[in-house]
Amino acid sequence: MSSPVITRFAPSPTGSLHLGNARTAFFSHLWARKAGGRFILRIEDTDVERSEGRHLDQLLIDLGWLGLDWDEGPDVGGPSGPYAQSERGAFYRELFARLERGGEAYPCYCTALDLELSRKLQRMAGKPPRYAGTCRHLTGAERAERESRGLKPTLRFAVPPDAVIEFIDLVHGPQKFSSADLGDFIIRREDGTAAFFFSNAVDDASMGVTHVLRGDDHLTNTPRQLMLLDALQLRRPGYGHVGLLVGADGTPMSKRHGSTSVSEFRERGFLSEAILNHLLRLGHTSDVDGWLAPADMPRHFQPDHLGRASARFDEAQLLYWQKETLQRMSATEIRTWLGSNASTAFIDLIRHNVVLPPDAAPWAAVLDGELAPLGEEEQRLISAAGPEFFRAAVAALDQSGADFKQLTKTLKERSGRKGADLFMPLRVALTGQAHGPELAALLQMMTPGTARRRFESHAKNI
């Protein structure tokens, strides 16, 4: 019998949810849902100074908004709790003691200055800097002497010499590392809190996580974490390291690329379905090219199709998925998304001209408000038609009212213009733009007097 798939997302609440982290959370979630397994949310907040409650709240909101629900976590509990590392100190202490008893970990009294000096010497000797093992063989008396001076030790893992650490990365395939390249590393900080390498690995093991998906930047951490798990005789999860998310120019995603966090995209009016459709294709080849409803995504997630290459996030692509999502929404849903109280007829009229909420404002202004100043192309179309044309338009409008067909018929006869020469200046005068929704319907919905005023404004000789 194969064990159930248990995946997790293990964020450090030190900032808003970055799109890159959202993607690994999403893949992990998809994997659990595809396999009928469980998805765990674990908060890695051992770095007390950088972890903040408001970041945690925001994180839960962002994940919930994306629809990435968790089966176990800080708010819902579960069999492997607590799910915030800041509350798991007792468990870590027990494991630290076990390692110390077995001689697999030892206190290190080196100060930051000692370590800096040692690194300098190593660099001067042309060696890669790593912990020199200074405190590894201190006698009981030497330790006591340091304690009596009030030195607070860190705890270091004693890396076994000449070990070969092998594992099969779920994305990169077979990996092989030599322990000779790794210095003894810190597993407990001076203040007694667990260091990342340690808490991250032992929690995955103790929570029964079977598949860890995370960014490539953690690949070289994995051999250290595996040595720890082996020393503690804890079960190794499978590790898969996915290519990092980069901007359209290939450099790591940062503020220079515009929005980078889930909340920024949400605030700009992007829809979660659009984001998920884009993320699904970033570093993962789906067997379906078209838009997918989130509920259908787990079926089309293929863990063996996760990529090693960095994946390019492209806002143009996101806008494409945004349009695809909007096409599938009802007028009522779009109205809610816009935060508007416009009529269904108006929403249906403008929906194909709106990608983000601010796009709706100019069309509302067309019905009842001020048009934005004309662009170059629009100005040219107005000038080409000339004031005579608009004087005729005013007269035709007075006869036809809001009946666009009648208006254009009359105006065609009076002005001698037809086709684009007839329609384009009308469109620009009425909407301020050369493109947009159906003109006849817009005219019907305009507040009385608005159309006439707009024609008149172009009817004067200058």
The residue (of 14 and 400) whose beta carbon lies closer to ligand GLU is 14
Binding segment (CB under 6 A) for ligand GLU, from list 7-15, 59-67, 104-112, 363-371 = 7-15
**Residue 12 touches ligand GLU, criterion: CB under 6 A:** yes
Is residue 223 a contact residue for ligand GLU (CB under 6 A)?
no
Nearer to Zn ion, 110 or 311 (CB): 110
Altogether, the residues listed in the chain come to a count of: 462
Residue of the chain from 218, 300, 312, 452 that contacts ligand GLU (CB under 6 A): 218
User: Largest Cα–Cα distance of the chain, in whole Å?
Assistant: 109
Which among ligand GLU, Zn ion, none contacts residue 347 (Cβ within 5 to 8 A by kind)? Answer: none
Contact criterion met (CB below 8 Å) for 327 and 340:
no
With CB under 5 to 8 Å by kind, the binding choice for 108 among Zn ion, ligand GLU, none is Zn ion
Q: How far is the CB of 104 from Zn ion (least distance, A)?
A: 16
Stretch that binds ligand GLU, among 9-17, 61-69, 363-371, 435-443 (CB under 6 A): 9-17
Q: What is the DSSP letter of 357?
A: G
Query: Is 200 among the residues that bind ligand GLU (CB under 6 A)?
Result: yes
User: How many helices and strands in the chain, by DSSP H and E?
Assistant: 18, 11
Q: Determine the size of the site formed for Zn ion (CB under 5 A).
A: 4
Question: Of 188 and 214, which CB lies nearer to ligand GLU in the complex structure?
Answer: 214
- Residue 176, both tokens: 């092989």
- Indicate whether 110 belongs to the interface with Zn ion (CB under 5 A): yes
**CA-CA distance, 39 to 70, in Å (whole number)?**
5
Which of Zn ion, ligand GLU, none is residue 200 near (CB under 5 to 8 Å by kind)?
ligand GLU
| Bridge partners of residue 238, in order along the sequence | 211
| CA pair distance 196, 189, nearest whole angstrom | 10
Which of 11, 237, 283, 432 touches ligand GLU (CB under 6 A)? 11
44 is a contact residue toward ligand GLU (CB under 6 A): yes
Among the listed residues 301, 362, 354, the one whose alpha carbon sits nearest the alpha carbon of residue 329: 354
Whether residue 179 contacts residue 205, with contact meaning beta carbons closer than 8 Å, is answered with no
55 binds ligand GLU (CB under 6 A): no
Site map (CB under 5 A) of Zn ion, residues 435-454, x = contact: --------------------
Contacts 24+ apart (CB under 8 A), 297-300: 297/30, 298/30, 298/33, 298/34, 299/34
User: Got the DSSP string for 194-254?
Assistant: BPHHHHHHHHHHHTT--EEEEEGGGGGGHHHHHHHHHHTTPPPPEEEEEPPEE-TTSSBP-
Tell me which residues in 122-161 interact with Zn ion (CB under 5 A).
134-135
Which one, 8 or 33, has the nearer CB to ligand GLU?
8
Angstrom distance (rounded) from CA 316 to CA 185: 44
For position 10 contacting ligand GLU by CB under 6 A, the verdict is yes
Q: Please report, as ranges, the residues that interact with ligand GLU according to CB under 6 A.
A: 10-12, 44, 200, 212, 214, 218
Give contact residues for Zn ion (rule: CB under 5 A).
Answer: 108, 110, 134-135
